């Protein structure tokens, strides 16, 4: 069995205390919630910290409630609770149920899934392997082995919930040593495999807010090799609003796992808006999404295949909505 490095464990009683600890310890500390992503990463020495900050003693981080035409989900709420919830939009429950495997869903949390570290097969390996390959950019080396010509990390955004929640126009609340702020979830992400989150290291996500929008049709299609366990190697979240005449009035298409952040397919959306929602506009949107996506060979299956699947998955997602 791989061993965890020696770690100090802090268990603050309030979110402010937790944020204060993180501000004090800087990059020597990290938040541990469900741990399904962090623990294996620590065992593989992908990050070196000396303290983990637990959130278990802090009240109000867990639970799902509806208030002011929105669903509020505490960051520490497990994926299982979301899968089983009748309060969340069905697409959110479905996407939570597509994360990893049932056992991981029992343990993993929504906050953890939104912050899940970007992934790459040159990175998610042991010290021995990284030593054999020479450490990559994200492992404090000098070169990205996926695209050695550029000093950029292409590790993949691997959250299933992020594309869905961005398509639902969700927002996140963060508490840091400087106070509390709420921002659109889309603004949490940056297309950079190393600095993939905009939150400052001392900020902790406390809640996710999903507006209740019954006029919006939303779905999520995930590409992965097996029916369980695997991370997405492409995710397509699509949200469409139609008027009574069947003309698309609003669309959000978000691609997961083809870049280091969830990718808004703006041109694909533009191909839909103002058009009758049907085969012609769907085909145009699928083609626009294909042009946007530039997956690289750093996760399962070839990059060429994953790119090829972008229009297929966008089309299938939109066709599913058109059939509703």
Partner 1 sequence: MSGRGRGHGAVGRAAGRVDSLGQVTGRTIYADDLMLPRTVTAKLLRSPHAHARIVKVDTTAAAAHPGVHAVLVGTDLPIKYGILPVSQDENALAIEKVRYVGEPVAAVAAADPETADEALALIEVEYEALPDVTSIEEALDPSHPLIHGEGTGANVDRETSLEFGDVKEGFAQADHIQEDTYFFQGNTHAALEPHATVASMGDDGRLTVWSSTQVPHYLHRILAKVLELPAGQIRVIATAVGGGFGGKTDIFSHEIVAARLARTVGRPVKITLTREDVFYAHRGRHPVLMKVRTGFTTEGRITAMSFRSYLDGGAYGSYGAASLLYTGQLQTTTYSIPRYQFQGVRVFTNKPPCGPKRGHGTPQGRFAIEAHLDRAAEALGIDPVALRRRNLVEPFSHTVNHLRITSCGLAECLDRVTEASSFDDKHTSLPAGRGIGVAVGAYLSGAGFPIYFNDMPQSEVMLKVDRGGGVTVFSMAADCGQGSTTMLATVVAEVLGLEPGDLSVVTADTDLTPIDLGSYSSRVTFMAGNAALEAAQRLLEEVLEAVAAELGVDTDLLSAEDGSIIVDDNPDKGVTWTEAVQLAMAQSGALVTSGSYKTPEGISGRYRGAGVGPTPAYSYTACVAEVTCDPDTGFVTVDQVWLAHDIGKALNPLLAEGQIEGSVHMALGEVLMEEQAFLRNGLHRGPSLLDYKIPTILEMPPVESFIIETDDPEGPFGAKEVGQGALLPVIPAVVNAVHDALGIRIDETPVRPDTVVTALADLAKGGSGRVGPTSLPDHEFPPLYRVEPPANSPGAAS
**Which CA distances in Å does 203 have to 149, 159, 181, 207, 290?**
34, 19, 10, 12, 35
CA-nearest of 183, 184, 144, 145 to 168 is 184
Q: How far is the CB of 104 from partner 1 (least distance, A)?
A: 11
Q: How far is the CB of 63 from partner 1 (least distance, A)?
A: 31
Site for partner 1 in 294-323 (CB under 8 A): 300-302, 304-305, 308-309, 312, 316
Of 23, 93, 125, 247, the one binding partner 1 by CB under 8 A: 125
CA-nearest of 10, 34, 37 to 24 is 10
User: Kind and range of the H or E element at 70?
Assistant: strand 70-74
Site for partner 1 in 234-263 (CB under 8 A): none
Residue 225 sits in the site that holds partner 1 (CB under 8 A): yes
Taking contact as CB under 8 A, which single stretch among the options 31-39, 49-57, 128-136, 288-296 is the one that binds partner 1? 128-136
Residue 214 sits in the site that holds partner 1 (CB under 8 A): no
Number of residues that bind partner 1 (CB under 8 A): 31
Q: How far is the CB of 235 from partner 1 (least distance, A)?
A: 14
Closer of 1 and 245 to partner 1 (Cβ): 1
Decide if 48 contacts 91 (C-beta within 8 A): no
Residue 103 sits in the site that holds partner 1 (CB under 8 A): no
Residue 279 sits in the site that holds partner 1 (CB under 8 A): no
Residue 121 sits in the site that holds partner 1 (CB under 8 A): yes
For the record, the structure tokens of 196 come out as 């993939």
Residue 270 sits in the site that holds partner 1 (CB under 8 A): no
DSSP notation for 263-291: EE-HHHHHHHTTSBSSHHHHHHHHHHHHH
- Quote the CA–CA distance of 146 and 298 in Å, as a whole number: 6
Q: How far is the CB of 225 from partner 1 (least distance, A)?
A: 5
Q: What is the CA radius of gyration of the chain?
A: 20
For the record, the structure tokens of 191 come out as 């297309």
Decide if 21 contacts 176 (C-beta within 8 A): no
β 204-211/70-74 pair status: antiparallel
Residue 133 sits in the site that holds partner 1 (CB under 8 A): yes
Taking contact as CB under 8 A, which single stretch among the options 66-74, 193-201, 226-234, 250-258 is the one that binds partner 1? 226-234
Q: How far is the CB of 113 from partner 1 (least distance, A)?
A: 16
Q: How far is the CB of 140 from partner 1 (least distance, A)?
A: 16
Burial of residue 274, with CB atoms counted within 10 A of its CB: 0-12 exposed, 13-18 middle, 19 or more buried: exposed
Contacts with partner 1, residue ranges (CB under 8 A):
1-3, 6, 101, 121, 124-126, 128-129, 131-133, 223, 225-231, 300-302, 304-305, 308-309, 312, 316
């Amino acid at each position: 069995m791989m061993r965890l490095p020696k770690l100090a464990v802090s268990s603050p009683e309030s979110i402010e205390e937790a944020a204060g600890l993180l501000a004090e310890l800087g990059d020597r500390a990290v938040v541990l919630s469900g741990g399904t992503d962090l623990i294996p990463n620590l065992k593989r020495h992908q990050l070196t910290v000396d303290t983990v900050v637990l959130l278990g003693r802090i009240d109000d981080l867990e639970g799902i409630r509806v208030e002011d035409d929105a669903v509020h989900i505490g960051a520490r709420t497990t994926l299982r609770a979301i899968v089983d919830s009748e309060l969340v939009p069905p697409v959110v429950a479905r996407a939570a149920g597509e994360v990893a495997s049932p056992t991981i869903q029992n343990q993993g949390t929504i906050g953890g899934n939104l912050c899940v570290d970007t992934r790459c097969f040159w990175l998610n390996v042991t010290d021995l392997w990284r030593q054999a390959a020479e450490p990559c950019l994200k492992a404090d080396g000098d070169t990205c082995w996926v695209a050695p010509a550029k000093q950029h990390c292409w590790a993949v955004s691997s959250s299933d919930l992020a594309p869905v929640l961005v398509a639902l126009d969700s927002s996140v609340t963060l508490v840091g040593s400087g106070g509390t702020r709420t921002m659109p979830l889309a603004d949490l992400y940056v297309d950079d495999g190393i600095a993939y989150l905009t939150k400052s290291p001392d900020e902790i996500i406390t809640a996710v807010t999903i507006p209740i929008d019954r006029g919006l049709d939303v779905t999520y299609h995930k590409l992965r090799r097996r029916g369980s366990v695997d991370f997405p190697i492409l995710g397509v979240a699509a949200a469409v609003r139609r008027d009574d005449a069947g003309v698309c009035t609003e669309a959000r298409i978000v691609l997961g796992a083809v870049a280091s952040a969830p990718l808004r397919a703006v041109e694909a959306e533009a191909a839909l808006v103002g058009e009758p929602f049907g085969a012609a506009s769907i085909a145009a949107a699928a083609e626009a999404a294909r042009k946007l996506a530039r997956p690289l060979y750093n996760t399962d299956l070839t990059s060429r295949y994953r790119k090829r699947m972008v229009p297929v998955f966008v089309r299938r997602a939109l066709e599913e909505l058109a059939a509703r």
